[in-house]
């Protein structure tokens, strides 16, 4: 059974640019959540998508957005990049998401974004 796939693995962008990250969940999983991981703040929740709808959102500015497609694949977009956006971006898939009983979340390897 294939795991969660994130692309690309590494990305270097310039301040002010925008970036799109992709996540393909485990087959059959309908929930995709996105997290930002930094040494100082640890893992912080960005948002969750379930059946193409954003079901939950963390405390990040509107520059961070996402969407989910009918096949459950999800993309995350960050516009007007800032130096502080440099982080490991992780997505996690689960059957029903964190609001359901089947809450086990499986993570991808992450996309390491460096903003210069």
Give me the residues that bind other proteins (CB under 8 A), please.
4, 6, 33, 35, 42-43, 45, 48, 56, 58, 90, 92, 98-99, 101, 103-110, 112
Pairing outcome for strands 10-13 and 111-115: parallel
Q: Which is nearer to other proteins, 86 or 107 (CB)?
A: 107
Count Cβ atoms below 10 Å from residue 94 Cβ, excluding itself. Answer: 22
Q: Which is nearer to other proteins, 38 or 80 (CB)?
A: 38
Minimum Å gap between C-beta 20 and other proteins is 19
Q: Which residues lie below 8 Å from residue 66, measured CB to CB, with a gap of 6+?
A: 34, 46, 47, 49, 54, 74, 75, 76, 77
Minimum Å gap between C-beta 46 and other proteins is 10
Minimum Å gap between C-beta 58 and other proteins is 7
Cα–Cα nearest to 30, from 57, 68, 65, 87: 68
């Amino acid at each position: 059974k294939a795991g969660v796939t994130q692309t690309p693995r590494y990305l270097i962008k310039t301040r002010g640019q925008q970036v799109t990250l992709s996540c393909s969940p485990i087959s059959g999983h309908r929930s995709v959540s996105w997290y930002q991981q930094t040494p100082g703040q640890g893992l912080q929740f960005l948002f969750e998508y379930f059946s193409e709808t954003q079901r939950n959102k963390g405390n990040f500015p509107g520059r961070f957005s996402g969407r989910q497609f009918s096949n459950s694949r999800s993309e995350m977009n960050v516009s007007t990049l800032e130096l502080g956006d440099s982080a490991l971006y992780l997505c996690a898939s689960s059957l029903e998401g964190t609001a359901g009983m089947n809450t086990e979340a499986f993570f991808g390897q992450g996309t390491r974004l460096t903003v210069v």
